């Protein structure tokens, strides 16, 4: 197996374009966090406290626990763990996309020289 080709040293990007890439990356990150935190607030505060009386009319199958009580005690924690998993998966994809944008920018700059 031949050795991998040597990597060229990283070149500086156009500062204006790099700033645009970074702003886009952080804007998507903040939007994702706001959406996920809203879901967590709805599950933790909404289902566990605000709508607990309504949800307590239903029980978890096989346990007999009222649904509002379950959300207050365990459901919001389980939802939070799932949201962390979703955040990590989406951020991995976003990081790869961000690195691809920077690589394309470098390749375009090298081609222009």
pLDDT tens digits for 11-58? 566 788 888 888 999 999 999 999 999 999 999 999 988 999 999 999
Residue 78's pLDDT band, with cuts at 50, 70 and 90, is very high
| Structure confidence at residue 108 (pLDDT) | 73
Q: Is residue 6 predicted with pLDDT exceeding 60?
A: no
Three-state DSSP state, 59: strand
Burial class (CB in 10 A: 0-12, 13-18, 19+), 70: buried
Rounded average pLDDT over 88-105 = 91
Rounded average pLDDT over 89-103 = 92
| Structure confidence at residue 32 (pLDDT) | 97
Q: Is residue 94 predicted with pLDDT exceeding 90?
A: yes
Q: Is residue 97 predicted with pLDDT exceeding 90?
A: yes
Mean per-residue pLDDT of the chain: 87
Q: Is residue 10 predicted with pLDDT exceeding 60?
A: no
pTM: 0.73
């Amino acid at each position: 197996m031949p050795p991998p080709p040597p990597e060229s040293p990283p070149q500086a990007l156009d500062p204006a374009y790099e700033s645009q890439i970074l702003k886009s990356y952080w804007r998507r990150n903040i939007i994702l966090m706001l959406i996920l935190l809203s879901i967590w607030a709805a599950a933790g505060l909404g289902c566990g406290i605000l709508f607990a009386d309504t949800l307590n009319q239903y029980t978890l199958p096989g346990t007999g626990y009222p649904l509002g009580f379950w959300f207050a005690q365990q459901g919001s924690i389980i939802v939070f763990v799932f949201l962390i998993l979703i955040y990590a998966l989406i951020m991995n994809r976003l990081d790869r996309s961000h690195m691809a944008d920077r690589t394309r920018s470098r390749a375009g700059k090298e081609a222009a020289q």
